[in-house]
């Protein structure tokens, strides 16, 4: 997962950006405070302006909206209200509306790199990478030494599929801030996608040298070690990530996969079970747990688990293929054949479905 500075803007973990609450919030504070000192406040709008600068989300949204719709206040107040509401909408994952508010602030004279950076974050979170890159480019033009801007554009390039452009931007970010945990982590993610495992491991390690409990970097380095077949090293990093946050479902799944690769299916089952407790509505996790139950010779419990996965999402080929394997283990060949067919219909390239159908067809001859 990308991280533009994980202490910057809320709401990015689900969008591909982890932009840390500190830097983006600081960018907004600087913009707002420079302008809010420059004009007298009309008595009628004074309460709304104070509430717009507050911390209660509902009150902030209502007050900023009233200011925006108030034709008696000046452009400066409108500008601040759009910026503040844009931030709130961003934190509420309403990224398109946030970008629209930042655009209005720019029309009203908001300038400098920070406002383009903020709008770029909103575009990026909405997966509009062309506009995000354009805004980050404008931010870089205004302040070419700002590592945060280069870092953000590097992430956008990667999410757009331009790994070379991502590597270039993140390398520039590091050149401007050699202690940027985020830039090292993000470049590591880019190198991982490029299958340049040596450089990826080096960057994840560089990030961890500055933040030993940075879970995403621990998971990143573990991904490198899993790709290399170095499962013990991967398990060590994933254990550290879990010790930092026992509810890290991704780390539990990854550690389970590493342990399963060593045929330690009981340990894998423990990790998959913990992941299910953290995210009980995720059918993929139930599928993994069902598979581990099958591998630990508990096919009957595995069938109950996989049936739950099907209820949660009946359109996953891997779920039907797993249920077919369980049914086959229980000598329910007709049901297994039907599920292998369902799996193949959903994913015609799935090797497990093809092999299962051939195996059962051969058994029927």
Residue count of the chain: 365
Helices 249-261 and 283-295 pack at an angle, to 10 degrees, of 30
Burial of residue 296 (CB within 10 Å: 0-12, 13-18, 19+) is: middle
Q: Domain 280-365 has what CATH class?
A: mainly alpha
Confidence at residue 27, expressed as pLDDT on a 0 to 100 scale = 55
300's CB contacts (< 8 A; 6+ apart) are 330
Chain centroid to Cα 179, Å, comes to 23
Q: Which of 13-44 are b and which e, b meaning 16 or more Cβ less than 10 Å from the residue's Cβ?
A: eebbbbbbbebbbebbeebbeebbeeeeeeee
Q: How confident is residue 196, by pLDDT bands cut at 50, 70 and 90?
A: very high
The span from the CA of 313 to the CA of 126, in Å, is 25
Spatial contact of 217 and 186, defined as CB atoms under 8 Å apart = no
Residue 295: count of CB within 10 angstroms of its CB: 18
d(CA 282, CA 287): 9
Residue 8 sits at φ, ψ, to 5 deg, of -120, -70
Supply the pLDDT for residue 29: 46
The reply to whether 280-365 shares the fold of 1-143 is yes
pLDDT band at 365 (very low <50, low <70, confident <90, very high): low
What is the C-alpha separation between 3 and 159, in angstroms, rounded?
12
On average, the pLDDT of the chain sits at 89
Pick the CATH number of 1-143 from 1.25.40.10, 3.30.2270.10, 1.20.140.10, 3.40.50.2300: 1.25.40.10
Report residue 205 CA to chain centroid gap: 20
From the CB of residue 55, how many other CB atoms can be counted at a distance below 10 Å?
7
Query: What is the model's pLDDT at position 47?
Result: 83
Token output for 153: 């554009």
Instruction: Write down the pLDDT at residue 24.
Output: 55
pLDDT in tens, 253-298: 999 999 999 999 999 999 999 999 999 999 999 999 999 999 999 9
Residue 299 pLDDT > 80: yes
Q: Give 209's pLDDT tier (boundaries 50, 70, 90).
A: very high
Which has more confidence, 165 or 24? Answer: 165
For the chain, the structural domain boundaries read 1-143, 280-365
- The answer to whether residue 213 scores a pLDDT higher than 70 is yes
């Amino acid at each position: 997962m990308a991280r533009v500075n994980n202490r910057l803007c809320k709401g990015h973990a689900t969008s591909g950006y982890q932009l840390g609450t500190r830097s983006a919030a600081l960018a907004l504070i600087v913009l707002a405070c420079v302008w809010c000192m420059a004009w007298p406040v009309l008595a009628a709008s004074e309460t709304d302006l104070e509430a717009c600068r507050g911390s209660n989300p509902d009150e902030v949204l209502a007050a900023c909206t009233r200011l925006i719709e108030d034709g008696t206040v000046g452009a400066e107040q409108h500008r601040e209200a759009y910026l503040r509401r844009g931030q709130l909408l961003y934190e509420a994952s309403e990224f398109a509306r946030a970008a629209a508010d930042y655009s209005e602030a720019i029309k009203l004279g908001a300038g400098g790199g920070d406002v383009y950076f903020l709008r770029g974050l909103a575009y990026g979170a909405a997966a509009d990478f062309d506009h995000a890159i354009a805004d980050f480019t404008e931010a870089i033009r205004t302040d070419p030494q700002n590592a945060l801007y280069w870092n953000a554009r590097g992430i956008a390039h990667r999410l757009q599929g331009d790994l070379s452009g991502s590597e270039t931007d993140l390398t520039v970010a590091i050149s401007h801030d050699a202690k940027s945990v985020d830039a090292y982590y993000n470049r590591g993610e880019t190198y991982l996608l490029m299958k340049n495992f040596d450089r990826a491991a080096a960057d994840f390690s560089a990030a961890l040298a500055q933040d030993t409990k940075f879970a995403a970097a621990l998971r990143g380095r573990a991904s490198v070690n899993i790709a290399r077949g170095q499962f013990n090293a991967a398990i060590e990093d994933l254990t550290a990530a879990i010790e930092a946050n026992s509810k890290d479902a991704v780390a539990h799944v990854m550690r389970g996969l590493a342990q399963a690769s060593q045929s330690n299916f009981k340990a894998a089952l423990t990790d998959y079970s913990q992941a299910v407790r953290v995210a009980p509505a995720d059918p993929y996790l139930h599928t993994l747990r069902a598979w581990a139950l099958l591998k630990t010779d508990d096919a009957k419990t595995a069938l109950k688990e996989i049936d739950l996965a099907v209820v949660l999402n009946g359109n996953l080929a891997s779920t039907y293929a797993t249920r077919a394997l369980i049914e086959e283990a229980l000598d329910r060949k007709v049901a297994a054949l039907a599920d292998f067919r369902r799996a193949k219909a959903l994913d015609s390239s799935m090797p497990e479905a093809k092999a299962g159908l051939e195996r059962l067809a051969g058994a029927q001859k």
